[in-house]
Amino acid sequence: MVYIMHPNDSGTFVPFDTRLFEDKRYCLVYPSDCMPWNRFYLRTPGVPPLLPVYVSIVICTYDRQESLNDTLESLTKQTYKDFEVILLTEKGHLSELRQRGLECAVGSIVSFIDDDVYCPPTWLEGVVKSFREGVVGVSGPTIIVPEYQKNRDCLKYEKLRKLQEWIFKVSLEPGRLSPCGAPSMASNFKGCRYEGEVDYLECCNMSVRRSDAIDAKGFDTAYYRTSEWSEVELSLKLKRYGVLHFSLDAMLFHRPSKSGVYQHRLSTAHRWENFKRFQKRWIKPSFRRHLYWIFIWTYYKLKEMRMI
């Protein structure tokens, strides 16, 4: 099911909860009883909005009631209000769901965020500011505060992360891929101060010019389930159209959740296939790339056996 919300004149939204229908593979989104109904309206995908919007914000969500409400609440406080929110609440491959969101969007700019982020009031204003400077894609810091870092292995196991960064020459700048395809993790840290061009957009904080994304064929649905690397691939395709920009003004807070679709990350066969697909398409063979494959395969096996 797809739900599309527009702000009213005051730019406010109704907080939402989700209730699951496992047999039908989707969840229902409904407004809290204590909130007035005249704060928003829903439009059917394919039906033009009552008023045009400049930005469409796409959120794929499933069984994350609390974090989703926090995300939507943060959107009610945005200083920039010319936007709609598209909620996709089905179970499915993330690449397919995001592609549907891209196709349903009416905004010139489409922003993809996760259902476990919190956007400061000036986040969307910062995104729009960068697009007005002529770029084709915008990302920003995705700060993970200490209390949530334990939910991310790359932050939880600091020594392992630093070893990986040293062996595979991972950049200390955000949005960079090493020669063997290892991504930077710099955007996750509070001390991130980089601003400028990047190789790819952060998957939980990526905004694209819709026309270019559609022309580039959007997300490749060959990436399945958690669809890791599909966002990086779209970013690399978009670089053919112009600059991808990393802006400090587009900063948000990522609070990784272990509910909802997180369990799919524990089943690693599809993650390995997605990784290989991206590597074969975009990364040149080398000895270090071979080592990186061994490193990732070992990590997935340890993850599958619940050893990390």
In the chain (308 residues long), the average pLDDT of successive 10-residue segments reads 49 47 48 40 67 90 81 89 87 93 94 96 98 97 87 76 92 97 95 96 98 98 96 98 98 82 72 97 97 95 83
pTM: 0.88
Q: Is 73 inside a domain boundary?
A: yes
What is the number of alpha carbons within 13 Å of residue 61 lying toward its C-beta?
Answer: 31
Instruction: Tell me how crowded residue 225 is: count the other CB atoms within 10 A of its CB.
Output: 18
Tell me the one-letter amino acid at 192: C
CA distance linking residue 44 with residue 244, whole number of Å = 31
Among 252, 153, 271, 137, which Cα is nearest to 204's?
Answer: 252
Map tokens 């009213």 to a residue: 8
Q: Is 276 inside a domain boundary?
A: no
pLDDT at 294: 97
pLDDT at 305: 84
End-to-end CA distance of the chain: 35
Q: Is 182 inside a domain boundary?
A: yes
CA distance linking residue 263 with residue 95, whole number of Å = 17
Instruction: Tell me how crowded residue 190 is: count the other CB atoms within 10 A of its CB.
Output: 12
The secondary structure of residue 163, as a DSSP letter, is H
Helix or strand (DSSP H, E) at 297 = helix 287-304
Range of the domain at 237: 2-266
CB 242, CB 122: distance < 8 Å: no
Residues found in the chain: 308
Q: Is 134 inside a domain boundary?
A: yes
pLDDT at 15: 47
Q: Is 278 inside a domain boundary?
A: no
Q: Is 296 inside a domain boundary?
A: no
Q: Is 282 inside a domain boundary?
A: no
Q: Is 275 inside a domain boundary?
A: no
The secondary structure of residue 173, as a DSSP letter, is S
Q: How many domains does the chain have?
A: 1
Q: What is the largest CA-CA distance in the chain?
A: 61
Angle subtended at Cα 134 by Cα 129 and Cα 139, rounded to the nearest 5 degrees? 55
CATH value at residue 176 = 3.90.550.40
Assign 84 to helix, strand or coil.
strand
CA distance linking residue 175 with residue 244, whole number of Å = 9
Residue 30 phi/psi, 5-degree rounding, is: -140, 155
